[in-house]
Structures are given as C-alpha cells and as structure tokens.
Amino acid sequence: MKRIAIDMDEVIADFVPKHLSIFNDKFKDNITIENLKGKKLRELRPELKNEIINILTEPAFFRDLKVIKDSQEVIQELSEHYEIFITTAAMEFPTSFTEKYEWLKEHFSFLNDLNFVFCGDKSIINADFLIDDNARHFKRFNGQGILFTSPHNMNETEYVRVNNWKEVKEYFLK
C-alpha cells in the first residue's frame, strides 16, 4: 500500500486566519490574506519577526485551529486506499506538541495515533507522497512532493499543486 504524508498547518489546520487575527489585534494592523499572496507575514513586517513567531508559542495557539474544508472526509476516503501519515514540523515550536496531538485526536480520530509524526526535517519521512504548503520540505524528500496552496506559496511553480481537498481527492482517486 502506498503512503501519503500530509502536513498539518495550512494543509489540514487553518493556521493563517487565526495568526493574522491575533497579529492585527496585537499590533493594531489590518493585514489581510490577500496581502500575504506570495509572502509570509514576517516578510511584510520584518521589524516584528520575533513578535510574529512568538504568537505561535502562546499557550493553546494550535489547539483550536479550524479544520480545512473537506480535509477530514477526503483523508478518511484516502485511508481506504493509502497508508496515511500526518507529518508536522512540531520541532519548530516544541510547545505545540500536546496541542497538535489533541487537535489531531479530536478532528482525525479515525487515524491511528502511530501515524502522527512530529518531526523537524521531513526528508526522514518514508512515504510515496508528501502534501505540504512549504516547498522547502520537498528538496530532500524522496517521494513526490505535492504543494497545497496557501497564500505564501502562490508564486511557487516548481511542484505539482493542489488548491483544495477536492483536488487532492481527484489526484489520488482518479
């Protein structure tokens, strides 16, 4: 059975709206998702880079993220044909481990806990496919990288791209 590794943040967990909302409230700004096309928040406000990153270390930031539309249904269907792993670079924010684990248990309870992979460098993942919003994870990954559209990666053209979970389903269950 082929394996699909799936990133968490910005692929199944809707990270950007909450991050933007907290940032805008905290710094009296009004950056929109549209402003992020092709950029990360820290590129728009480099003088606040540390503060932007610190938002992600706040208690419970990752615990109540919204689920990206159709991800649960499509992943459940994919799990009937593929071995599914959720692979999150939790080592970038080690305080997020428990929150991310609890979030996965709540929203993707049909997956086995042993298929939740908390890592740093995703090149260690032994899978046929990796669905991720960050193309840097594909550089040393041995399988097929599939870029999940997110505002920051709009200008990336080097990889196969899917814009939503309906397109993921179409790609894998043609």
Catalytic sites, residue numbers: 7, 9
Contact 5, 129 (CB under 8 A): yes
d(CA 162, CA 174): 14
3-state SS class at 150: coil
Contact 143, 128 (CB under 8 A): yes
Q: Roughly how many angstroms between the first and final C-alpha of the chain, as a whole number? A: 17
Contact 41, 20 (CB under 8 A): yes
Q: Is 164 exposed, middle or buried (0-12, 13-18, 19+ CB in 10 A)?
A: middle
